[in-house]
Every structure is written in C-alpha cells, then in structure tokens.
Amino acid sequence: MKTLTHSKTSRSKTNPSRHVAVSRSIFTEIKKEHAEFRKAMKRITRVYERDPETAKIAYLDFQIRLRAHADAEEATLYPYLLEKTVVGTKLDDQVREGVEEHHLGNLLANELDQISPGDPKWKAKFRVLTESVEHHLDEEEDYFKRWRRFLSPSEDRLVHDRFLAARESNRKRALMAH
C-alpha cells in the first residue's frame, strides 16, 4: 500500500515569500521528535563528563519534552490504534508494550529526579534510561510502516493535530509545575 504524505504549505522563516511543505503526518512528526530526543540524550551524556550540574539542567528540559511526547502519544495515537484492533493481536500487543515502555521511562526519570547529578548513580541511571528510550524509539519506528495502514489520510492528519495540541498542553502544564 502506498503511503501518502499529508502536507500544507507555510512561509519559510528565512524567505517569507517562499512557501515550503509542512508535514501533517503523525508518524513523520513523531519520528522527527525521536531524532531530537536521540540528539538530546547524546548531548546530556557528553556534557555530564564536563559538568554534571549543567547536564542535569539539560536533562530536566529533555524530561519535560519526553514526558509531554509520551503522554500525547497515549492520549491520541495509541487509543486511535487500539480502536482499530482486537485484544491479543499484533497491533494491540505493540501499542500496549509502548504504554509499558513509557511507564518504565517515567519510573527511571522519577528515580533520576531524586539523585544528585554529582552522584555516580545518576550517570548509571541516565545510561539505563537512555538505553530504554532508544529501544522504545527504534521499536516504535519499526512499527510505523505497519501502523500507517490503520489510519486513513484524514485520520492521520486528525491524530497529528490532536497530538500537537496534547503535547503542547502537556509541556505547558509541566513547565508551570516546575
């Protein structure tokens, strides 16, 4: 099955008279954010070696974005996919595993919050979190080809737009709590 890319046009920031395509696919959006998470985890690991306190500050921003992302997936994409399947099927298992991996990430993040960045446990715990998150991102992206088949182009755009709104709301709520 051929996958369509859903896009609209937007003015380029560098050249307002030039229009550029903006993707409106939930899968493209999530994959883009996954790449940002991978970069952030590498950056935090590098910075930690020089300055654990600065790494902790970068980690707190990463954690807010990661949780906002995971919560938005669970509020938008995952329920939509679960509506399209039957309990015990491959799709059902994949989505439910994703929820559990989010839960594991939250547990590790909560533990990291309680550890001083100068403590060697912080570095070890962050490494475990990084490995868990990387596994989840890789696995989820492997599923995207299959998952795309369950959403029509209009459903893809709808879930995308709802995901963006939920993610932004989650981020704002987290920032206000800190």
Domain map of the chain by residue range?
26-177
* pLDDT of 41 over the 90 cut: yes
Report angle CA 61, 65, 69 to the nearest 5 degrees: 170
* pLDDT of 143 over the 50 cut: yes
* Percent of the chain scoring above 70 in pLDDT: 87
CB-CB contact of 157 with 24 (8 Å): yes
- Say how many CA atoms lie within 13 Å of 55 toward its Cβ: 22
Report angle CA 80, 85, 89 to the nearest 5 degrees: 130
Place of tokens 């795309």: 148
Quote the pLDDT of residue 89: 94
Instruction: Using pLDDT thresholds of 50, 70 and 90, give the confidence band for residue 177.
Output: confident
Q: Which tens digits make up the pLDDT trace of 62-94? A: 999 999 999 999 999 999 999 999 999 999 999
